[in-house]
Amino acid sequence: MISIDLIQTTAETLMDKAAIEIPQDYLDGLRAAAKTEDGDLSSFVLQAMLENYEAAKEDRRAMCGDTGVPRWFVKMGNDARIEGGPIALEAALRRATANATTGVPLRPNRVHPLWRTDHNNNVGIGAPEIEYGFEPEGEWIDLITVHKGGLFGTDYRMLFPSDGIQGIKRFYLDSLVAFGKRGLACQPAIIGIGLGGSKDTCMVLGKRASVLRTVGSRNSDPRIAEMEDEFKELGNSIGMGAMGFVGKNMVIDCNIEVGYCHTGGMQMSVHAFCLSSRRAVARVFPDGRVEHRTDPDWFTDYQRRETIDWDPVREAAE
Amino acid sequence: MKIREVTLSATPTAEAIADLRLGDIVYLDGLIYTAREGVYMRALEDKANIPMELPSQSAANFHCSPAAVIREDGSFDLGAVTATASFRFAKWLPEWMAKTGARLIIGKGGMSSKDYKEYFVPNGAVYLSTVGYGTGALLGRGVETVEAVHWHEELGIAQAMWVIRARRMGPFIVASNMAGECLFERENAKIVQNLDRVYEGTKPAVLKRYGETDDRSDEVIG
């Protein structure tokens, strides 16, 4: 049985880490980008961002004033048991979100869409989102928090098989240029692309591709992995850098996730995880151990399975 | 091009404003207030009295809501500060400037050169953009004290009017000038020249969107 108190205190620590500490993979990616950048203004911006991450860690203050909208991805091993069950778990995550909002502090971003009611704690109807995943083995629970910021840099389009790769490229470029101008997407970003599913699942795939995969990770399908490399390069050849200034770094990495879709369609979504790519992860065990990391490791072979039953041996052979 | 660095008062003289060049890096001293849709609506539409002497106390309007909390004893804990996109406030800004004498509009993404020419230049105002976006911790370090938070009960923490004493707060980038020119439009004009080459070989979608354009000099704001 995993202690509910431990879940809540761990969740509070994760909220703090996500808001303050830029994940190492993104930091390495941005440092590499800063080395290649030769646009004078965009270089200045990247250097300022690198200083900003240091200042945030030194002062233990949020890296960006827009601290995003906190959300949770929860993954459980098949044998995980939580004290108080899923209702207690959700209450603990909502409490941790509210406590961290005043504790860090975070900006209380969450308001009612019509009445603009603000509880000043980032909790409300459907907020924070809590999404679930499962793995075949283990007694642990993974708590993943993502505080994605920004209202821009995201788009969806129903494409069709006849649009092909060239149509996918076109929509990708359209999205990057549209929201890259004036730096609305807060690039350079981790670009996530969702392909397939339905309209809603396509958005989920793209969002998860941007926020739940790390810089440098590649899709397990080698042909999709090739596309990821190609799309990263394509995005960086636009000639646009940070803040929409002339430059060569728009995309720190491009991650693509797919889902089976209607035979007539080819849904596509594009997401940008910004200069403040806030994510933090911890695995909590029944014996009280807590292991912190920054890689959500969400897209396992199990998550991308194609078969009816889960047969790890056969999947490995394929 | 060498980037020039300037220290500016939050109640700047007309000469100091006229001297600013597109792309200058600015650090601010003095009182800055945050105002966005909540404050604009309350002051301009509901005609509430603005709880500050403007522009004598401050001529610097920051489009921002800080990551901050008001403690139970009434004191403030302000961590990070970054801007929000300004184009959404174009509706209120002409009246706000006329009423408050704001000369520095600080935010994200800038406005259009049309906005600058129509009401920034006549009011002697320029636009300063935050950097990144997201140098929230650096800007937070530039906050010496929070002098007051107005209207937080009516508008909530995020929309309230935060009055901040800045000491070498920055960096900001000068994104408009007294000629009404726009830094972002200048950069866009350079980038658009390359776009035909980048798009080469790609195909327009078979199903069009109503109102869709392929004019790549277009912007999503303005």
Per-residue tokens: A69:
């909208």
Cβ contacts of A40 on chain B, cutoff 8 Å: 1, 3
Identify which of A109, A157, A162 has the shortest CB distance to residue B158.
A109
Per-residue tokens: A110:
């969450």
Neighbours of A312 (CB within 10 A): 12
In the beta sheet, which residues pair with residue B7?
B27
Distances (CA, A) of A147 to A6, A26, A41, A192, B134: 21, 15, 27, 15, 13
Q: What's A3's DSSP letter? A: -
Residues whose CB is less than 8 angstroms from the CB of residue B153 and which lie 6 or more positions away in sequence, other chains included:
none
Per-residue tokens: B121:
């230049």
Cis peptide before A296 (omega within 30 of 0): no
Neighbours of A60 (CB within 10 A): 13
Q: How far is A134 from chain B (nearest CA, A)?
A: 34
In the beta sheet, which residues pair with residue A195?
A258, A268
- CB-side exposure of B88: number of CA atoms within 13 Å? 16
Per-residue tokens: A117:
């009611």
Rounded Cα–Cα distance for residues B9 and B31 (Å): 9
Confidence at A316, pLDDT banded by 50, 70, 90: low
**B residues 171-190 closer than 8 Å to A (CB):** 171, 173, 184, 187-188, 190
Per-residue tokens: B71:
């403690």
Backbone torsion region of residue A197, taken as left when φ is above 0, otherwise alpha when ψ lies between -120 and 50, otherwise beta: left
Cβ contacts of B203 on chain A, cutoff 8 Å: 163-164, 166-167, 170
Per-residue tokens: B47:
């005609």
For A248, phi and psi rounded to 5 degrees? Answer: -120, 15
Q: Quick check: B58 contacting A, CB < 8 Å?
A: no
**Do B136 and A64 make contact, defined as CB atoms within 8 angstroms?**
yes
Rounded Cα–Cα distance for residues B10 and B28 (Å): 6
The residue behind tokens 């065990």 is A285
Of A98, A91, A50, A261, the closest CA to residue B132 belongs to A50
Rounded Cα–Cα distance for residues A308 and A237 (Å): 41
Rounded Cα–Cα distance for residues B218 and B222 (Å): 10
- Residue pair A122/A69 in contact by the 8 Å Cβ criterion: yes
- CB-side exposure of A199: number of CA atoms within 13 Å? 4
- What is the predicted pLDDT for the residue at A313? 65
- What is the predicted pLDDT for the residue at A242? 97
Q: Burial, B146: exposed, middle or buried (Cβ in 10 Å; 0-12, 13-18, 19+)?
A: middle
Cβ contacts of B133 on chain A, cutoff 8 Å: 64, 183, 186, 243, 274-275
Could you read off the pLDDT of A103-136 as tens digits, one per residue?
999 999 999 999 999 999 999 999 999 999 999 9
Cβ contacts of A62 on chain B, cutoff 8 Å: 67, 79-80, 136-137, 140
How do beta strands A189-196 and A251-259 pair? parallel
Could you read off the pLDDT of B45-91 as tens digits, one per residue?
999 999 999 999 999 999 998 888 888 898 888 889 989 999 999 99
Could you read off the pLDDT of A182-195 as tens digits, one per residue?
999 999 999 999 99
- Residue pair A245/A45 in contact by the 8 Å Cβ criterion: yes
Which strand ranges, in their side-by-side order, compose the sheet holding A141-148?
Answer: A130-135, A69-77, A141-148, A279-284, A290-293
- What is the predicted pLDDT for the residue at A161? 97
**Do A55 and B64 make contact, defined as CB atoms within 8 angstroms?**
no
- CB-side exposure of B139: number of CA atoms within 13 Å? 32
- Interval A212-230 mean pLDDT: 98
**Do B68 and A107 make contact, defined as CB atoms within 8 angstroms?**
yes
- What is the predicted pLDDT for the residue at B140? 95
Rg (CA), chain B: 19
Identify which of B66, B158, B171 has the shortest CB distance to residue A118.
B158
Could you read off the pLDDT of B81-131 as tens digits, one per residue?
989 999 999 999 999 999 999 999 999 999 999 999 999 999 999 999 999
H-helix or E-strand spanning residue A256: strand A251-259
- What is the predicted pLDDT for the residue at A267? 98
> For residues B164-177, b (16+ Cβ closer than 10 Å) or e, as one string?
bbbeebbbbbbbbb
Per-residue tokens: B4:
């020039």
- Interval A276-295 mean pLDDT: 98
Confidence at A315, pLDDT banded by 50, 70, 90: low
- Interval B16-22 mean pLDDT: 98
What ipTM, to 2 d.p.?
0.93
**B residues 124-153 closer than 8 Å to A (CB):** 129, 131-141
Rounded Cα–Cα distance for residues B84 and A186 (Å): 11
Please state the three-class secondary structure of A21-85 as a single string: CCCHHHHHHHHHHHHHCCCHHHHHHHHHHHHHHHHHHHHCCCCCCCCCEEEEEEEEECCCCECCH
When the pLDDT of each residue in chain A is averaged and rounded to a whole number, the result is 96
Q: Quick check: A202 contacting B, CB < 8 Å?
A: no
Percent of chain A at pLDDT exceeding 70: 98
**Do A170 and B199 make contact, defined as CB atoms within 8 angstroms?**
yes
Residues whose CB is less than 8 angstroms from the CB of residue A58 and which lie 6 or more positions away in sequence, other chains included:
none
Q: What is the dihedral of CA A211, A214, A215, A216, to 10 degrees?
A: -140
In the beta sheet, which residues pair with residue B34?
B62
